[in-house]
A = this chain, B = another copy of it.
Amino acid sequence: MRAAILAVGTELLSTDRLDTNSLRLTEALERYGVLLERKLVVGDRRDALVAAIRTLAADHDLVLVSGGLGPTTDDLTREAAAEALGRTLALDESIVEDLRRRFKAYGRAMPDVNRRQAMVPSGSTVVIPNRRGSAPGLELVEPSGTTLFLFPGVPNELQGMIESHLEPWLAERSGGLRSERVVLKVAGMPESEVEERIAPAYEELGREAISVLAGTAEVLVRATAVGTDAERRETLERAERRLAELLGAAVFTHREDETLEAVVGRLLAERGETLVTAESCTGGLVAERITRVPGSSEYFQGGAVVYTNRLKRQLLGVPAELLDIHGAVSEPVARAMAAGARDALEADWAIAVTGIAGPSGGSETKPVGTVHLAWAGPSEVDHRRVRFLGDRERVRRLSAQVALEGLRRRLVGG
């Protein structure tokens, strides 16, 4: 099955917006092994829309359109689809009734303009109910066998119809075959090293079965399998086991949606231990990431953001002479920050970060990107010096990532 995606909306041709709906549609296609051949964006112009729908319907078996189903005059997808496919439009009274009920539930009368949303193309057409908004979706089957879905552009309305309608439609046509994947997320290892480590798996499992996606100090390794339930399970279990073996302790989760801070939080909660932070160059980013996790108050006590030497002394008890002799960005100060935070703020673990995020403040011996990290735990204080390349934001993000990954390794005893 050859599929195309069409996003409709002049705003999607601007400098500010991208068609992110296509990512959700692509996810559904991939899950059922359908190949996406092209993506197209056109504005709210009838001629362009008619031409696009006509071409896509001629060249593909499945065309997924999002946007342009609203009630206003620049919502043209219904009319353009009807014209492109040589169909007529007629008012569907049952949709009008639905819309009236919907508005009434909010204590309002249905504006006349919304009648446009009840126009349905002739021929083989299925109306897709919208539980989250006023625009119903439409499924149009052409004599050629091509199916077009017209979905609303509002993301959560689209998502509702993907789940209620598109996925079951794809499942029915997949012959029991589905695509599924396992994910291993790696922190603190460059992409090139990940590639090197998993090289044997490429040979054993097939190059196209494995994909590597690099983020900021985080690499996602995915293995994909297409087949029946039993086939997939076997392939994926083998792939997951092999990749885990090759990547070792660098894997922090096997769940695509689990963040490093969530893993650290889970480990702390499991052990019933607490954490505090002491941050200079990251300016609160480590604490902010830890507290993104719902329930983090169970283990996170708080932290100190200490931009000045005065606050490093006052809040963390860093000795003035260490600051004088070694400077704020140094191993002794990082260690003193971590130990001081653990003692003064009272927790089982403390993370400390001090560094030069740039763009200024660097020197020959301590260039921009120099960061000292320390972890104080129940038995010892560890330290690591890193030199990151990149701009201020990148240095800060990498620092926070290494800080969290360092704690995770210590919590799992790596």
Interface residues of A (CB under 8 A from B): 12-16, 18-20, 22-23, 26-27, 30, 36-43, 45, 48, 51-52, 55, 59, 213, 277, 279, 281-288, 290-292, 294-297, 300-308, 310-311, 314-315, 345-346, 358-361, 392-393, 396
Q: How far is the CA of A304 from the CA of B315 in the complex (A)?
A: 9
Q: Which DSSP category, helix, strand, loop or mixed, fits chain A's interface?
A: mixed
From the candidates B52, B296, B307, name the one contacting A38 in the complex (CB within 8 A): B52
- CB neighbours (8 Å) of A51 from chain B are 59
Shortest CB-to-CB span from A235 to chain B, Å, is 20
Question: With A15-B23, A19-B18, A41-B39 given, is the CB distance from A291 to B284 under 8 Å?
Answer: yes
Question: With A14-B26, A284-B286, A392-B294 given, is the CB distance from A307 to B315 under 8 Å?
Answer: no
Shortest CB-to-CB span from A142 to chain B, Å, is 20
Instruction: Tell whether, in the assembled complex, residue A305 and residue B284 are in contact, meaning their CB atoms are under 8 Å apart.
Output: yes
Q: Which of A37, A294, A305, A315 lies at the interface centre, i.e. has the most chain B CB atoms within 10 A of its CB? A: A305
Q: How far is the CA of A45 from the CA of B315 in the complex (A)?
A: 60
Instruction: Tell whether, in the assembled complex, residue A37 and residue B42 are in contact, meaning their CB atoms are under 8 Å apart.
Output: yes
Residue pairs across A and B with Cβ atoms less than 8 A apart, 11 shown, are A14-B26, A15-B23, A38-B43, A38-B48, A279-B284, A283-B291, A284-B284, A284-B287, A284-B305, A302-B304, A303-B304
Which single residue of chain B is at the shortest CB-CB distance from A400?
B288
Instruction: Tell whether, in the assembled complex, residue A292 and residue B283 are in contact, meaning their CB atoms are under 8 Å apart.
Output: yes
Instruction: Tell whether, in the assembled complex, residue B26 and residue A13 are in contact, meaning their CB atoms are under 8 Å apart.
Output: yes
Q: How far is the CA of A39 from the CA of B359 in the complex (A)?
A: 37
Q: How far is the CA of A285 from the CA of B36 in the complex (A)?
A: 39
Which single residue of chain B is at the shortest CB-CB distance from A307?
B302
Which single residue of chain B is at the shortest CB-CB distance from A24?
B15
- CB neighbours (8 Å) of A308 from chain B are 297, 301-302
Q: Which of A52, A288, A300 lies at the interface centre, i.e. has the most chain B CB atoms within 10 A of its CB? A: A288
Instruction: Tell whether, in the assembled complex, residue B294 and residue A283 are in contact, meaning their CB atoms are under 8 Å apart.
Output: no
Q: Which of A22, A55, A284 lies at the interface centre, i.e. has the most chain B CB atoms within 10 A of its CB? A: A284
With A303-B304, A303-B305 already in contact, 16 other A-B pairs whose C-beta atoms are closer than 8 Å: A13-B26, A13-B38, A14-B26, A18-B22, A37-B43, A37-B48, A55-B55, A277-B284, A284-B284, A292-B392, A292-B393, A301-B307, A301-B310, A302-B307, A302-B311, A304-B315
